[in-house]
Homo-oligomer: A and B are copies of this chain.
Amino acid sequence: MMDRSIPDATVARLPVYFRALVDLDRDGTATASSQELARRSGVNASKVRKDLSYLGSFGTRGVGYDVQYLLFEMSRRLGLATERPVVIAGAGNLGRALAKYRGFADRGFPVVALVDVDEAKVGGHVGGIEVHALGDLVALVRRHVGCIGVLAVPADVATAVAERFVAAGVRSLLNFAPAIVDVPPGVTVRPVDLALELQILSFYAQRHDLSAAAG
């Protein structure tokens, strides 16, 4: 089919399929049906086929999808052909933890620097990564073209720090601060509020308990 503009819902699932394909490849599996991919991705087979069809016709009828070929195409479309550096703002508990977390670098997103306003932290190292002054942001972003900014700062300064990232040229932000950060068009922010996730879980737990008490 002729693509042009993949639905957001599909974009959010592509990395899930990608993860499944990486696993299949490591297991030495050469081809996988939409059914198999669906099972490993926690969705249904229809959705997998529809989603993959937005990328093109990469499957073989009667057989399935070639794992390595699909991996290649997906990494291309997701922009994972090259590593994308990550700059973390905020060297508090969360920022330091993210800097030490291997899960980023392991999947192609090396953390290259931390920045913090606290002069006492500047010059220090966290898991081998240097802490820079907030003022160095422009230079850091210039050095690491196409990098992703991570907001691990308090909520009340999240917007201000986001603006500095954007001014420095960053177009992708992952926001861990419990605050809405709005940015100009062309910049993408993905919010990750961990306490908010717990509150959602709390709602469903309570709903379950109440219906159990009523039933």
Contacts and interface: CB of A to CB of B under 8 A. Distances in A.
Interface of A: 11-12, 14-16, 18-19, 40-42, 77-80, 84, 86, 93-94, 96-98, 100-104, 106-109, 146, 148, 171-174, 178-180, 182, 186, 188, 190, 192-206, 208-209
B198 A109 contact: yes
B12 A42 contact: no
9 pairs of A and B residues whose beta carbons are closest in the complex? A97-B97, A79-B206, A172-B201, A15-B199, A107-B195, A42-B180, A79-B202, A15-B196, A188-B204
Contact of A100 (B18, B86, B97, B195): B97
Task: Kindly report how many copies of this chain are found in the complex they form together.
Answer: 2
Contact of A104 (B15, B103, B171, B194): B194
A199 B80 contact: yes
A206 B202 CA distance: 36
A94 B84 contact: no
Given A78-B206, A79-B206, A15 B94 contact: no
Given A79-B206, A192-B192, A40 B200 contact: no
A109 to B, nearest CB: 5
A146 B182 CA distance: 35
A172 B100 contact: no
A155 to B, nearest CB: 8
B101 A202 contact: no
Contact of A42 (B101, B108, B182, B198): B182
